């Protein structure tokens, strides 16, 4: 045999084995008789995401195609076979009734090499349970009440600086403002202050270090989609290879900020009503208390999770209010009445903004920032009412966005209608029909804070400005095809008119 044939045969054998592996992998649902769409090798059912489709699109399509035909359907995220739950009762079983078997999300994290990723959102098993128990008291109504003055103060600063921006850009009676950018600066200042006790200065300076570094997480990826798919499919191998997720400059920045702030507070006996102070108070307690890396990870996720989700939700809200003036007028009138009664934006006043709360909830329905939720089966789980089994280790997908746009649940789903969230309307729907923060014991622990900062921000803006479509406003709004979280393609521009 010619020497050159040996490597050729070796390559051929490797390719043949790879083909057999992929053929077997992508036959997972077919072998079990589960409804699914034909996957594309390597990419699964996400081949068009980032090209012709947004991340939410294939899940909407699958839900629409198979809902009513089965309790779940098959979907391949890259190499991973994921059942997508189509039945609300089954979703309730997974998220609440049988939660003990579905407590994990299965996200990759690396405590040793990438400690900022080992936070509550990613942790699994007993590590998650221990951390959730420790952190739950930090998000009580009392703690939110203590943080509210910080949010109100930054809201006042926001209004003042936005007035100056409007005066600067106003031309021919119109002041087009990229409001999403301003909202992200507002939320980074709020969360930076509430989390770290620091003035991030983003409202005054759009190039402030805190904002620039944090935005890196959403604009610069350490790994491409294919690599991330492999990391999440084979997490144990990735961990052994010391794979990191967070960009080094982001990890180094937050490590320095948290360490310097903790050291300063310890040396000077500084106490403040913020999240970092609450975390520092947990250093001594059961199980030895929190380590520095745990404090770092939780402070990091508090900022990152609240920054993009809240600013995007507020941006979509102002977009909807700009093109639905009757809703905007009604919301502004509510703000005026509540302020006339209380004289300020205190905690009681915020709780009385019922219509703005409905608007906020409707935005979360129509513009679900996180299109899907994930739960992992810890043990084999016989699917109720079927002969199927979710095998241990299987990642289940709850298609929150698709459910939010189901016309049988929400008639005319593309219409923006806050009356969908009156107490009477909510009472008539299935409890799993609205999932912006998840459901059950693993719902978003920071939902109350995100809601509070968003409603304060919206109320402040509506009290001082009117928002109308500008010439540059996209109607309908174009969405980014490359972002995992729902995002507009080129910001959100509206005409801002001081009142």
Q: Which pLDDT tens digit goes with each residue over 147-158?
A: 999 999 999 999
Q: How far apart are CA 310 and CA 316, in angstroms?
A: 10
Q: Consult the annotation and say whether 444 binds a ligand.
A: yes
> Does residue 394 have a cis bond before it (omega within 30 degrees)?
no
The reported pLDDT for the residue numbered 286 is: 56
CB-facing half-sphere around the CA of 446: CA atoms within 13 A: 23
Q: How far apart are CA 141 and CA 229, in angstroms?
A: 39
Only one residue has tokens 């719902």, namely 443
Q: How far apart are CA 438 and CA 435, in angstroms?
A: 5
Q: How far apart are CA 36 and CA 45, in angstroms?
A: 9
The reported pLDDT for the residue numbered 323 is: 98
Task: With a cut of 70, list the residues of the chain below it in pLDDT.
Answer: 1-3, 285-288
Q: How far apart are CA 107 and CA 376, in angstroms?
A: 10
Decide if 381 contacts 395 (C-beta within 8 A).
no
Q: How far apart are CA 449 and CA 191, in angstroms?
A: 10
Residue spans of the domains in the chain: they are 86-498
Q: Which pLDDT tens digit goes with each residue over 173-216?
A: 899 999 999 999 999 999 999 988 889 999 999 999 988 998 88
The reported pLDDT for the residue numbered 6 is: 74
Strand partners, 375: 396
Q: How far apart are CA 309 and CA 378, in angstroms?
A: 29
Bridge-based pairing state of the strands 72-77 and 80-85: antiparallel
Of 298, 312, 427, 306, nearest to 366 by C-alpha is 312
One of 3.40.1080.10, 1.10.630.10, 1.20.1090.10, 2.30.30.30 is the CATH number of 86-498, namely 1.10.630.10
Strand partners, 390: 381
The reported pLDDT for the residue numbered 10 is: 86
The reported pLDDT for the residue numbered 396 is: 99
The reported pLDDT for the residue numbered 234 is: 84
Q: What is the pTM of this model?
A: 0.94
Q: How far apart are CA 131 and CA 120, in angstroms?
A: 7
Tokens standing for residue 6: 């040996």
Using the CB atoms, write b or e for 303-320: b if 16+ within 10 Å: bbbbbbbbbbbbbbbbbb
- Phi, psi for 139 (deg, rounded to 5): -120, 30
């Amino acid at each position: 045999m010619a020497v050159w044939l040996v490597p050729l045969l070796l390559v051929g054998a490797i390719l043949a084995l790879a083909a057999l592996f992929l053929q077997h992998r992508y036959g997972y649902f077919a072998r079990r008789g589960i409804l699914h769409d034909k996957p594309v090798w390597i990419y699964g059912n996400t081949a068009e995401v980032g090209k012709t489709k947004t991340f939410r699109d294939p899940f909407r399509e699958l839900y629409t195609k198979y809902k009513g035909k089965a309790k779940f359907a098959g979907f391949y995220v890259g190499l991973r076979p994921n059942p997508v739950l189509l039945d609300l009762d089954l979703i309730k079983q997974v998220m609440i009734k049988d939660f003990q078997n579905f407590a994990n999300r299965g996200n990759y994290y690396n405590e040793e090499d990438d400690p900022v990723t080992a936070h509550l959102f990613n942790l699994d098993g007993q590590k998650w349970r221990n951390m959730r128990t420790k952190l739950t008291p930090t998000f009580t109504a009392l703690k939110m009440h203590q943080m509210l003055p910080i949010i109100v103060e930054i809201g006042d600063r926001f209004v003042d600086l936005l007035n100056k921006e409007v005066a600067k850009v106003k031309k021919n009676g119109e002041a087009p403002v990229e409001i999403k950018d301003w909202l992200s600066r507002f939320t980074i200042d709020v969360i930076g202050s509430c989390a770290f006790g620091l003035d991030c200065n983003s409202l005054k300076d759009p190039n402030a270090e805190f904002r620039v570094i944090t935005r890196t997480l959403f604009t610069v990826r350490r790994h491409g989609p294919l690599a991330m798919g492999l990391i999440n499919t084979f997490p144990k191998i990735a961990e052994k290879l010391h794979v990191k997720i967070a960009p080094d400059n982001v990890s180094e920045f937050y490590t320095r900020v948290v360490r310097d702030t903790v050291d300063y507070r310890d040396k000077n006996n500084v106490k403040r009503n913020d999240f970092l102070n609450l975390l520092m108070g947990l250093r001594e307690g059961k199980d030895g208390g929190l380590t520095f890396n745990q404090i770092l990870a939780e402070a990091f996720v508090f900022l990152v999770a609240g920054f993009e989700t809240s600013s995007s939700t507020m941006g979509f809200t102002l977009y909807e209010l700009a093109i639905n003036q009757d809703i905007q007028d009604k919301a502004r009138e509510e703000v005026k009445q509540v302020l006339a009664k209380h004289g300020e934006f205190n905690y009681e006043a915020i709780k009385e903004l019922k219509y703005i709360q409905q608007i906020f909830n409707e935005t979360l329905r129509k513009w679900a920032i996180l299109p899907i939720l994930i739960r992992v089966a810890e043990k084999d789980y016989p699917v109720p009412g079927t002969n199927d089994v979710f095998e241990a280790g299987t990642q289940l997908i709850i298609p929150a966005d698709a459910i939010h746009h189901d016309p049988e649940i929400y008639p005319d789903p593309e219409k923006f209608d806050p009356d969908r969230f009156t107490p009477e309307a909510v009472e008539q729907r299935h409890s799993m029909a609205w999932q912006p923060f998840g459901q059950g014991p693993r719902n978003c622990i920071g939902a109350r804070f995100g809601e509070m900062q968003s409603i304060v921000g919206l109320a402040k803006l509506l009290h001082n400005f009117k928002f109308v479509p500008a010439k540059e406003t996209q109607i309908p709004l174009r969405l980014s095809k490359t972002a995992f979280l729902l995002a507009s393609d080129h910001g959100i521009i509206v005409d801002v008119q001081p009142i």
